[in-house]
Structure 1
Amino acid sequence: MVLFLAFAGLMPAVDTVADPYSLTHAREFLSSYCQACHQGESAEAKFRVDSLDTIDSFRTSSDRWTRLAARVSNNEMPPRGAPVPNLDERESFLDWVESTWRSQACAADLPPPPSLIRRLNRHEYAATVRDLFDLQLDFGTELPLDGPGGEGFDNAAETLFLSPLHSEKYVEIAKSVLDAASKEYKSRIKIFVAEPGPGIGEKEAAGKILQAFLPRAFRRPVGLETVDRYVDLFRAARKQGHDFEPAILFALRSVLVSPRFLFHVESAGHDPELRQYELASKFSYFLWGSMPDEFLFDVAAAGKMDDPNVLRQLVPRMLRDTRALEFADRFVEQWLRTRELEGAHGPDPELFPEYATNEELHSDILLQPVYFFQYVLRENLSLLNFLDSEHTILTLALAKHFAVEPERKPTKNPEWIRLPEGSHRGGLLSMPAVLAVSSHPYRTSAVLRGAWILDSILGTPPPPPPPDVPELDDEQESDTPKSIRELLAQHNANTACASCHQRIDPWGFALENYDVVGRWREEDAGGPIDASSELADGTRIEGPAGLKQALLDRSELFIRNLTKRMLGYAIGRGLTPADACTVETIVDRVREADDQAWVLVREIVLSAPFLEPAEVEEQR
């Protein structure tokens, strides 16, 4: 995977205003910390940095710049024992690399990377089977889990390999799907659009069935040659003694294990007609996580899927559709990392039994940010509602958990409800799912919460900790309870820790009034909670309200981060330096439109990485 701004640990953009940085400074950085091992013909690992001494090298040696920046960002270079840049030096260098990439991308019109062939992930597969057959069963659970890639999502081509286990499962599931579909009336009428009888022979009936089914399954028109190949499979099954229906199902099983069903296909623009259908699929899998409906197929047939005016009209239609909940669910649980709460990362069941034993509350906690996200997009609200909002999604169980009494009494169903005056809620940061995933199972953590804000909200992740730094809990020397602030003060006595924690911890301290499961509290470890802090640039934060204001003051960082993540999700790959100009263009247009949600989605689907076909490269 080519990393785009994996080196975007740009905390100076958050907390400090760096001095002007230039190519001269970058040369000095490389000379001081890299060239001892990586110059000349004898460069270690044959990786030379001495030739990265011009701005033009960002174009001619883009891969080396990307690898270099990623290694510096991840503290992998320089190696142990060699001179090491301090935090400010490293971040200034990385900040300059990002800004240079951006200017080069905008000036040179860099081509997009090859588009990797990628299969449907398990969620897309399940949703496609559901919509293809109108069959309300989840067959995706039988497939292996998909790992994250690209901008942190499991629909990224970089990680969607086809394993032998996948091949085996696809064959098994195809049979199970068709067995179930043949017994379900709504599914049967989608399949058996013709039957042999007076005036229609078996071959003709099979042809009509396959002519209707194949374009929907392959999500594109198919020629008569393709139909005939599957009719031949039907006839072969009949010759083996199978009745008409089992023979048709045999042919359909072959359809469901075809690469044209299992994979997203990009034709690199060689066939303009097919490209229309590819865009319809790209659009529907972005916003619905499933195949196009008949309306989108009709738009593709009319050759309008790349018409900007048509796309502008399609965005609200698709976001208002109930299927957009699929997008909200998959995007939010990975962007905010709340998917981790479904595994072993959740709150300790002995310390927080209400979270573990109250299934209704547990479900509502996980779904709250999903429904919040969906509502903001559906109603075209400001994206800054994610940072602070006078409304939230509430249910009866959540209101009780929050000890909040809104103006309108909530029900068991999630609803957009105005919060009472002076509420400590509003925005994503006060939601229990977010607070739990950025805590330890047994206690809160200013470090985890601060790092979560820097990464998930501001898009400026802190570097990984130096090796051999002890965990916070390992440093307790007495049984006397200590607050998080006291533990961190002890931890930060280690100078190897202090510089990073000065940038991370203040963000997390502001959330200390929320416990692991998001309940408001005034005390911890037997004493009052101090939720005040000071950022590295001197900004004072007083509790959650001050934190939200600090984030709103840095809202452009948030919009840029959300843009990168959503663009990566939409195109199914990690971003590269060639995408930097696209990102900035989208950010500018979203900001000009007062951060309206539809504008972000609209500009993504109108962008070159989304609309323009790239050369296709096979997975290895």
Structure 2
Amino acid sequence: MGRMICVYGCVLPVWHILCGAIAGAAGVEPPDFSVSGSAFLQKYCLKCHNDQESSAELSLQGLTDNAALIRSRRSVTRILRVVTSGEMPPADQQRPELAEAERFTGELAAILDHADRTAKPDPGRVTMRRLNRTEYRNTIRDLIGVSFDPAADFPADDIGHGFDNIGDVLSLSPVLMERYFEASETIMSQAILPVPPKIVTRRLASVYTEPASGEVAGKFMDEGFRRLSTDGADGVSTGPLHTPYKWEDGEYVFRARVYGQSGSGAPLRVAVLLHGAGLQEPSSEEELAAIAGNVLRPAKILKIFEVAADSREKAEILEISVPAVAGRDRMMIGQLRPAEGQPAGKLWVEYLALDGPLDTRPASQRRLLACDAAKSQPEQTREVLSRFLRRAFRRPVQPDELERSVRLVEQSLAAGEAWEFGVQFAMQAALCSPSFLFRVERDVEPLSSEIRPLNEHQLASRLSYFLWSSMPDDELLDLADAGQLTAQLQGQVRRLLQDPRAATLVQSFAMQWLQLQRLDLVSPDATLFPGWSSELRQSMRRETELFIDSVLREDRSLLDLIAADYTFLNGPLAKHYGIADTNGNVEGQSPTQPVGQPIQGSEFVRVSLPGSSRGGLLTQASVLTVTSNPTRTSPVKRGRWVLEQILGAPPPAPPPNVPELPNAAEDIAGAPLRKRLEVHRSNPACANCHAKMDPIGFALENFDAVGRYRVKDGNFDVDATGELPDGTVFSGPLELKAVILQRRQEFARCVTEKLLTYAIGRGLEYYDRPVVESILRKLETADYRMSAVIEGIVQSEAFRLRRGLDAAP
């Protein structure tokens, strides 16, 4: 028994057994199970698993040939798993020798492999998916435009196959349904205001305007008016006067009460200007030079007034509309320079006032209720609701759906409510509809097992929720309406990836794939790691997000995720790493690269890491911290993480009742961690798995439990060497990364499988293997670029096609 556990105790998943099956090529004929395989079952299995005595509710009596194996695939997969792991046959029964068991499992795998490669494509079947919290938040953002998180109080989504967007686990509890009702009311009450608020009026006395000086009140104020003169000594006395405002979208009205004296008896020419660093189409330098004083630039002259009032009693109010342009910051008022030889002009200003925005409805309301003003109110209702429902349901609206919503508006109007209230209520009801809360892929033939394409709108939703975790935008919906999305799919994938919303792919997919949400829960020992803080935690997470985002947006190779020569750091994280500048030179050591810019403050900058042990995911503090214990590193956790998340070969769960590694002070002081692990894995039930995990973890031992580089672990020198069971020897992170790059197909397969699972919202099945193999072949010829993975998934049968009944064996 001990020998069997040692041999079989640590295995790859059955999926990966199949990937390495002997009948790897589609043209190779599979073994004949009736010749030797059925004899193995007869000798070791049928005593307990027959039609009369089906132990564990499993009868193998009918498995006599290849066709029977394919028909009973689930049972065969189960046999593969228990025989390969050594669970079966049980210890108290006759057990096969190692070579005999390997021949049997290899034969089973080869038969299934051949069947998979030659089978008709099968896209599988996805359970109708509820929007998860991220998808709900993003969809509300893009549909309504509110600025708060409406899903903050929702229960956490369940996880399936490593992700929170898997249809089979996204249930709808009564508590969540209550939250949906509450959220819809809150959302629409902020998005549409049936009674808009009053226009905001701001009035600032001129004594408080800029340019400011302590002398203004005593030297430049005349009975409440601030005096400016074109021959003043500085900006305080010359102007123009200005003040900043906090602007919202929309048109404003600016006013100022003034009088002036030109010195020549003619009206005084006074300019009102708009200033802002991002202002588009500002006035020319020649135009601005005509205004006396220090004019802030860039600025746009809105209007030049001729002020006839020449005394306080005759003061007049200048009023002008301020257009809704981007980049607005300050309003300015000043006088034009007098002509050469003319006396200096003087301007007195009592106050500056700004009213607005004039349309006090929220921007969301203006957008949602936009309609043709020439239409009748019933026609406007249908225009507004048909547009809204099409976007909310992500498909064309059925006539009965539109009529139900219109009736809600009509009932509100009949009750004496405002039209805006009725539309608000109809939209609130839509946000509680299954057509909004679920990603519904209606099937006109649900009982048919025939494979057929998704319709264009279903494809648009799959694409946008894959790359944006949000609803399709108008361009996707328009293409779907025209039946042109499939024909333009590649171009749309690239467009979506360049959109800022694609950052969600990093946050939702990558952080779950890498299991980095756990970073929020780790608490390194404060005594051992006094530099640990919540700010450092956030910096660790942000480094990984920016790094993966750069690989995605720059369409770099997947392999850069392992061995990139750059990262992103801010001041605190650079200090944590001991990196001095943007060229990766180490603090306290002679520069090995030209001296770069110092890394300071909270802003992240790109940092080159040529020849450094840093670079790539494996050496980022986020990963190193979540794979450690609070007081020390864990080569086991780090090794398991690499096997599972990088190579796609997770080891099985540890046997029960395995004791923890001794962590008493005397144990730590008496032997290095490596030595203590050697004692721990002397247990034969643990040895084989640890032989795969521990060497990988040892290679990362130069990084402590919070990702700082080190050469000593306590009183002991760090030994970062490792040797895999196949004899591969390496030392340190650089050589470990080289080993993984030699196994790039395993890494590419892992990323492809994880991303495909995330994209289609279900776990992978045996019939998905041809899809994965096809993507991997394309990856090899495309230098493993990220776009090749994503485009391969989007173009795959699993993503674009559907079927009805689950007819799979």
Would you call these one fold, judging by a TM-score over 0.5? yes
> Which segment drifts farther, 101-110 or 85-94?
85-94
Deviation at 1:373, TM superposition (A): 1.5
Match of 1:60 among 64, 67, 71: 71
Contact map agreement 1:273 1:303 (CA 8 A) in 2? no
Contact map agreement 1:119 1:262 (CA 8 A) in 2? yes
Counterparts of 1:40 and 1:147 in 2: how far apart (Å)? Answer: 39
Counterpart for residue 516 of structure 2? 338
Counterparts of 2:76 and 2:626 in 1: how far apart (Å)? Answer: 34
Deviation at 1:39, TM superposition (A): 2.3
Match of 2:165 among 142, 145, 155: 155
Counterparts of 1:448 and 1:11 in 2: how far apart (Å)? Answer: 26
Deviation at 1:30, TM superposition (A): 5.2
Match of 1:182 among 182, 186, 192: 192
Contact map agreement 1:393 1:416 (CA 8 A) in 2? yes
Deviations 1:548-601 (A, max 9, x none): 111011110000111111011111111111101111010111012111111111
> Which segment drifts farther, 577-586 or 41-50?
41-50
Contact map agreement 1:522 1:528 (CA 8 A) in 2? yes
Indicate whether 1:379 and 2:389 are aligned: no
SS class of match (1:352): coil
Indicate whether 1:219 and 2:394 are aligned: yes
Deviation at 1:363, TM superposition (A): 1.1
Counterparts of 1:84 and 1:429 in 2: how far apart (Å)? Answer: 41
Going from structure 1 to structure 2, the CA distance change for 1:112 and 1:443 (only over 3 Å counts) comes to: same
Match of 2:496 among 318, 324, 331: 318
Counterparts of 1:497 and 1:211 in 2: how far apart (Å)? Answer: 63
Match of 2:608 among 418, 430, 443: 418
Counterparts of 1:87 and 1:149 in 2: how far apart (Å)? Answer: 35
Counterparts of 1:415 and 1:585 in 2: how far apart (Å)? Answer: 38
Going from structure 1 to structure 2, the CA distance change for 1:568 and 1:504 (only over 3 Å counts) comes to: same
Indicate whether 1:390 and 2:565 are aligned: yes
Counterparts of 1:256 and 1:593 in 2: how far apart (Å)? Answer: 43
Counterpart for residue 467 of structure 2? 287
Counterparts of 1:194 and 1:395 in 2: how far apart (Å)? Answer: 48
Unaligned 5+ segments in structure 2 are: 1-11, 21-29, 194-360, 447-451, 584-595
- The number of aligned residues is 598
TM-score of the superposed pair, with normalisation by structure 1: 0.88
The one-letter amino acid paired with 1:163 is S
Deviation at 1:404, TM superposition (A): 1.6
Deviations 1:255-310 (A, max 9, x none): 00111101112234769998111111110100111011112112212212222xx2
Deviations 1:392-429 (A, max 9, x none): 2222332221112332434643344321x331111110
Counterpart for residue 166 of structure 1? 176
Going from structure 1 to structure 2, the CA distance change for 1:578 and 1:399 (only over 3 Å counts) comes to: same
Deviations 1:209-228 (A, max 9, x none): 21121000001111332211
Indicate whether 1:7 and 2:187 are aligned: no
Contact map agreement 2:38 2:65 (CA 8 A) in 1? no
Deviations 1:286-343 (A, max 9, x none): 0111011112112212212222xx2222222211211111111111111110111212
The one-letter amino acid paired with 1:379 is E
Counterparts of 2:43 and 2:663 in 1: how far apart (Å)? Answer: 36
The one-letter amino acid paired with 1:435 is L
Going from structure 1 to structure 2, the CA distance change for 1:67 and 1:172 (only over 3 Å counts) comes to: farther
Counterparts of 2:628 and 2:101 in 1: how far apart (Å)? Answer: 28
Counterparts of 2:96 and 2:631 in 1: how far apart (Å)? Answer: 36
Counterparts of 2:462 and 2:18 in 1: how far apart (Å)? Answer: 34
Counterparts of 1:591 and 1:267 in 2: how far apart (Å)? Answer: 37
SS class of match (1:51): coil
The one-letter amino acid paired with 1:417 is V
Counterparts of 1:100 and 1:528 in 2: how far apart (Å)? Answer: 51
TM alignment of 1:39-438, pairs within 5 A: 39-69=50-80, 100-150=111-161, 152-182=162-192, 185-194=362-371, 200-201=376-377, 203-268=378-443, 275-307=455-487, 310-343=488-521, 345-355=522-532, 357-359=533-535, 361-405=536-580, 406-407=582-583, 408-409=596-597, 410=599, 412-419=602-609, 421-438=610-627
Going from structure 1 to structure 2, the CA distance change for 1:210 and 1:76 (only over 3 Å counts) comes to: farther
> Which segment drifts farther, 477-486 or 170-179?
477-486
Deviation at 1:349, TM superposition (A): 4.1
Q: Identify, as 1 or 2, the structure richer in helix.
A: 1
Counterpart for residue 500 of structure 1? 689
Counterparts of 1:463 and 1:91 in 2: how far apart (Å)? Answer: 19
Counterparts of 1:168 and 1:377 in 2: how far apart (Å)? Answer: 38
Counterparts of 1:324 and 1:105 in 2: how far apart (Å)? Answer: 34
Counterparts of 2:802 and 2:794 in 1: how far apart (Å)? Answer: 13
Deviation at 1:482, TM superposition (A): 3.0
> Which segment drifts farther, 554-563 or 59-68?
59-68
RMSD: 3.1
Counterpart for residue 715 of structure 2? 526
Counterparts of 1:352 and 1:97 in 2: how far apart (Å)? Answer: 52
Higher relative contact order (CA 8 A, sep 6+): 1
SS class of match (1:177): helix
The one-letter amino acid paired with 2:117 is C
The one-letter amino acid paired with 2:708 is R
TM-score of the superposed pair, with normalisation by structure 2: 0.69
The one-letter amino acid paired with 1:38 is H
Counterparts of 1:198 and 1:571 in 2: how far apart (Å)? Answer: 45
TM alignment of 1:492-571, pairs within 5 A: 492-571=681-760
Deviation at 1:485, TM superposition (A): 0.5
Deviation at 1:478, TM superposition (A): 4.4
Could you say which structure has the larger radius of gyration?
2
Counterparts of 1:273 and 1:49 in 2: how far apart (Å)? Answer: 37
Deviations 1:415-460 (A, max 9, x none): 44321x3311111100111111111122111111111111100001
Counterparts of 1:127 and 1:155 in 2: how far apart (Å)? Answer: 14
The one-letter amino acid paired with 1:527 is F
Counterparts of 1:194 and 1:168 in 2: how far apart (Å)? Answer: 32
Counterpart for residue 787 of structure 2? 598
Counterpart for residue 17 of structure 1? none
Contact map agreement 1:116 1:616 (CA 8 A) in 2? no
Deviation at 1:28, TM superposition (A): 6.9
Match of 2:773 among 572, 584, 592: 584
Deviation at 1:138, TM superposition (A): 1.3
Q: Percent identity?
A: 37
The one-letter amino acid paired with 1:219 is R
